[in-house]
Amino acid sequence: MSVDDLIALVRAYNPRTNDKLIRAAWTFAEAMHDGQTRQSGEPYFTHPVAVAAILAELQMDDATVITALLHDTIEDTKASYGEVSSRFGPEIAELVDGVTKLTNLQLSSAQTRQAENFRKLFMATSRDLRVTLVKLADRLHNMRTIKSMRPEKQAQKARETMDIYAPLAGRMGMQWMREELEDHAFRVLNPEARSSIIRRFITLQRETGDVIQKITADMRSELEKAGIEAEVTGRAKKPYSIWRKMQEKEQGFSRLSDIYGFRIITRSEADCYRVLGAIHQRWRAVPGRFKDYISQPKSNGYRSIHTTVSGRDGKRVEVQIRTREMHEVAETGVAAHWSYRDGERVVNRFAVDPVRWIAQVTERFDEDHDHEEFLEAVKLEMYQDQVFCFTPQGDVIKLPRGATPIDFAYAIHTRIGAACVGAKVDGLRVPLWTRLKNGQSVEIITAEGQTPQATWIDIAVTGRAKTAIRRSLREEDRERFIKLGAELARVAFENVGKKATDKALRTAARALAIEDVAELLARLGSAEITGRDVVRAIYPDLAQRGGEEIEATRAIVGLSGDQGFRRAPCCQPVPGERIVGITFRGQGVVLHAIDCPVLADYEDQTDRWLDLRWQEGTHPAINTVTLDLTISNDAGVLGRICTLIGEQSANISDLNFVDRKPDYYRLLIDVDLRDAEHLHRVMTALEADSNVSSIGRHRDPARAAVSATGARH
């Protein structure tokens, strides 16, 4: 693309464009990037040009298009903020600087850093949404050209895209961009699954012919009979969308029904409902698959009627019905704020500024709140569809699909949520774990003196409710967690020959971005972080000590080069024990101990069994084993148990009380071990203690079923 091509693209929707400024930005950026190349060997300047073209196709304003051309100049060239400001004005300089800051966040897969960067990303977005639009276009072009990157870099970028950028694009209403980002990431993260779905489509089309063209013709015919003018288009759903449905429904490709989608664009809102009537009169509607987002729009402004019908040859097809104005918002989302019509900026009455949504998220999380909770809340907000319920006064409360009365109570006010003791839905008393549905009226019953219960965390769905519940429970149990955390910290530091002094703990707290030592110990005691995390924050080399250890990825002999593996949670095999592998298509190999009772479930599937063994040598202490202990309820016993485990160079990664009696405690302790010999030493040391009445390995076959839900053969 030449500069004249770009200007022509912008002028097509904005005849008043400042072509001189665009040309000046092109010349400046081209000069700044002179001599730089991309991984593919192309001149680097082709990248900002491609980003600018994407934003021009979204009909963005001049400032955004120019920012795209300049978005890497401050970061990657000798250009300065002051120079960009003097040449192109403070508005563009601020936008370029904002994109640079987002780029420098370097979002990683490490949860804590990712959570903090996610917070910063949203804070930056709330100042000027165009910064994020440029960043999304930047990521889209990088994903389109990702093949030139190193494999490990491709995987990192693909995971970031799937976790953050794709759902962010969807939340901003740009569904087409979300789907394309997901598809590019899917191609990197699971190429075999994507290729398999595409091959199935080709086979299906060969067997049935062009189903899309046939159904589109049928729909056009029905609308003509009804005298309705409308545009009808159809398409097969994206490979990732189909794969996700297969995983969610645990169905094979052949059993999926609605893999085709059709869109009908009408001239008026009234015509939308006339089209719906014509479609339902001709084809049978599928119960429970009708959604009216025109009368109840999504929070990003999306409006459309969705219905699923049994079409030609009984195939289920999804139909979306909306007006042209609604379609513009559905296609461009937030970019509809900058839309042009007949060369003039226009206001699309259906466009909703997502800044309001971002503000609602960020205002609930100030700097003192937990970054993990912020990340969880944002992801819940972004990924979930919504249901609309009513208070007894008729006020509408928007909640994620699957929300419960507890979420409803906290959505009204934290005080109402904390005091909740029951709920009525449509006048009938229901359990607090009831999943709410669209249109229901919900009444919260409260009682003075009630406090949040620990079980509520598993019942609640919204980030707001989970955060408030955790905060309340943390405050209630804080003192107990601090004491336990202090003992766990002492053992963890002694394990590497160090002492858990106040100064060491303060240093660790700073390194982990935790405000003080008390909070560090509270999180350690509540198993939110591990003793190894605390030690690693100060002594990374000591935390990884062990000499010439076998790499975790090379721990198993008998796997092919591309096969991944994981230990079965039901039997938790460790090096030194006989093992067998069970293959799961697309999920790698699951390792079971040879005496695991779960293996009986696969006796008639011998083609999935692999004869495996552990690599000989020293393994790292990363193999978690759950120990079941019954100990005396006396002062100092738990601390001594932790000390005994630490003296055997083992790390406690989790601790859970399952029974408390006046004279004894029964608890499950997760211990990270090297091998079977290490396990034997730990259990022998504990068994010898006079306050330990029983000890054994905790094995739970039920955990295998949970683990296998995402790994079907």
Side chain identity at residue 103, one-letter code:
T
CA distance 520 to 522: 5
Burial of 465 (0-12, 13-18, 19+ CB in 10 A): buried
| Torsions phi, psi for 238 (to 5 deg) | -65, 150
Characterize the bridge pairing of strands 664-673 and 588-593. Answer: unpaired
What integer pLDDT is reported at residue 283 of this predicted model? Answer: 87
State both tokens at 94: 């601020």
What integer pLDDT is reported at residue 258 of this predicted model? Answer: 60
Fold: same for 3-189 and 384-457? no
Give me the residues of the chain with pLDDT under 50, please: 109-112, 255, 367-368, 545-547, 706, 709-713
Which conformational region is residue 335 in: left (phi greater than 0), alpha (psi within -120 to 50 degrees), or beta? alpha
The ranges assigned to domains in the chain are 3-189, 206-345, 384-457, 470-543, 552-614, 623-708
Side chain identity at residue 119, one-letter code:
R
Q: Are 381 and 467 in contact (CB under 8 A)?
A: no
Task: Report long-range pairs for 44-53 (Cβ below 8 Å, ≥24 apart).
Answer: 44/72, 44/76, 47/72, 47/138, 47/141, 47/142, 47/145, 48/72, 49/1, 49/6, 50/1, 50/141, 50/144, 51/134, 51/137, 51/138, 51/141, 52/6, 53/1, 53/6, 53/9
State both tokens at 648: 């055997």
What integer pLDDT is reported at residue 359 of this predicted model? Answer: 62
What integer pLDDT is reported at residue 367 of this predicted model? Answer: 45
State both tokens at 52: 């600018």
Q: Is 76 a known active-site residue? A: yes
Q: Is 344 a known active-site residue? A: no
Domain covering 623-708: architecture: 2-Layer Sandwich (3.30)
What integer pLDDT is reported at residue 341 of this predicted model? Answer: 59
Find the catalytic residue in 4, 30, 42, 75. Answer: 75
Task: Report long-range pairs for 677-686 (Cβ below 8 Å, ≥24 apart).
Answer: 677/576, 678/574, 678/621, 678/648, 678/649, 678/650, 679/574, 679/625, 681/648, 682/627, 682/644, 682/645, 682/648, 682/650, 683/627, 685/644, 685/645, 685/647, 685/648, 686/627, 686/629, 686/641, 686/644, 686/645
What integer pLDDT is reported at residue 546 of this predicted model? Answer: 41
CA distance 332 to 334: 6
CA distance 314 to 640: 68
What integer pLDDT is reported at residue 382 of this predicted model? Answer: 54
| The CATH fold of domain 3-189 | Hypothetical protein af1432 (1.10.3210)
Q: What is the mean pLDDT of the chain?
A: 81
Place of tokens 């226009």: 346
Q: What is the pLDDT of residues 87-146, one digit of tens each?
A: 999 889 888 888 887 776 555 544 445 555 556 566 655 567 788 889 899 999 999 999
Q: Are 640 and 489 in contact (CB under 8 A)?
A: no
Bridge partners, residue 441, by sequence: 390
pTM over 0.95? The answer is: no
Find the catalytic residue in 19, 30, 76, 292. Answer: 76
Which conformational region is residue 173 in: left (phi greater than 0), alpha (psi within -120 to 50 degrees), or beta? left
What integer pLDDT is reported at residue 310 of this predicted model? Answer: 80
Place of tokens 């006020």: 395
DSSP three-state, residue 666 = strand
Distance linking the first and last C-alpha atoms of the chain: 47
Q: What is the DSSP string of 218-259?
A: HHHHHHHHTT--EEEEEEEPPHHHHHHHHHHHT--GGG----
Q: What is the pLDDT of residues 243-298, one digit of tens each?
A: 776 665 555 555 455 677 899 999 999 999 999 999 998 888 877 778 888 887 87
Question: How many Å separate Cα 272 from the centre of its chain?
Answer: 34
What integer pLDDT is reported at residue 675 of this predicted model? Answer: 87
CA distance 305 to 473: 42
DSSP state of 268: S
Q: What CATH number was assigned to the domain covering residues 384-457?
A: 3.10.20.30
- The CB-side HSE value for 255 (13 A sphere, CA atoms) comes to 8
Task: Report long-range pairs for 548-556 (Cβ below 8 Å, ≥24 apart).
Answer: 548/617, 548/618, 549/617, 549/618, 549/619, 549/620, 550/615, 550/617, 550/618, 550/619, 550/620, 552/620, 552/622, 554/615, 555/614, 555/615, 555/619, 556/581, 556/589, 556/591, 556/612, 556/613, 556/614, 556/615
Place of tokens 């490490």: 110
| Torsions phi, psi for 627 (to 5 deg) | -100, 140
- Which one is the CATH code of 206-345: 1.10.3720.10, 3.30.460.10, 3.40.50.300, 3.40.640.10? 3.30.460.10
